Amino acid sequence: MAKIAILQMTSGIDPEANFRVIKEAAIKASHAGALMLFTPEMSLLLDRDRKRAAHWIDSAAPREFLKRIEALQMELQLELDIAIGSMPVPAEEGKWANRSYFFDEERGRPITQYDKIHMFDVDLAGGESWRESNAYKPGEEVVCVEDTPVGRLGLTICYDLRFPALFEALGKRACDAIAVPAAFTKPTGAAHWQVLLRARAIEAQAFVIAAAQVGKHEDGRETYGHSLVVDPWGEVLLDMGGEEPGLAFCDLDLERITEVRSQIPSLANKRGIPN
């Protein structure tokens, strides 16, 4: 069994306050015997006002906060890997990247990073409009982390969930678990969040671990919550609900992966489809 911790957050526009939430959760998770902590998309800064957010993103602050997370593991001697769902960082071409980081407790530094590939550009029926590509540069690489407490871990972020080809690629890499940190809107979350997560777990025959943002945020948006853990059979092992932030734990039976893949060897049976 691998015990993991999932942090559901209501991140705001103050990175210092958000960091304190993560720090407290990491300490609690480590003391409770968890081997990994998963945080949501935009854990350290959730701000739709891009002009205001730029003062932090385009400064040295993102690098400093990464160093503080490294120090958190080392100084407090936390026996805990930390998967920071994502944070905004400077990228090329005058844009930003929505980037995940994986911190290995033995090294105390981020050893793997992933930039969100799919940009959320949409006009919703309720009047909300999002143009992620105006500010963010999409990633170009499929990323997995070798040898974590949950086996080989695939990294995705939020809107990536809607693109099965990415999860197929992670399935081909024999990922045992896939992280899907998110900040889903309430309308799209209510309609599609759980069904898509269960489908991706079934397709990849892997655990799906989805730490989410929840509630009303300082920047005016409202997110769906319902952080989930789904097993390779599609069974929901944990649902944190859509009301409050908090920390929850889940035990993953990693032998379940082999059982499911032997019962329905769809990854091994897959063939190319002609155009």
Q: Which residues are catalytic?
A: 41, 116, 158
Q: Distance between CA 103 and CA 47 in Å, rounded? A: 24
Kindly compute the dihedral angle of the four CA atoms of residues 149, 153, 155, 159, in this order, to the nearest 10 degrees.
-100
Helix (H, G, I), strand (E, B) or coil at 94: coil
Planar angle of CA 16, 120, 190, nearest 5 degrees: 85
Q: Give me the DSSP letters along 127-174.
A: S-EEEGGGTBPPP---EEEEEETTEEEEE--GGGGG-HHHHHHHHHTT
- How many CB atoms lie under 10 A from the CB of residue 219? 15
Planar angle of CA 170, 90, 175, nearest 5 degrees: 10
Q: Burial, 216: exposed, middle or buried (Cβ in 10 Å; 0-12, 13-18, 19+)? A: exposed
Contact between residue 10 and residue 221 where contact means Cβ atoms under 8 Å apart: no
Contact between residue 183 and residue 46 where contact means Cβ atoms under 8 Å apart: yes
When computed from its CA atoms, the radius of gyration of the chain, rounded to whole angstroms, is 18
Closest to 224 in 3D by CA, of 195, 255, 191, 251: 191
Q: Burial, 29: exposed, middle or buried (Cβ in 10 Å; 0-12, 13-18, 19+)? A: buried
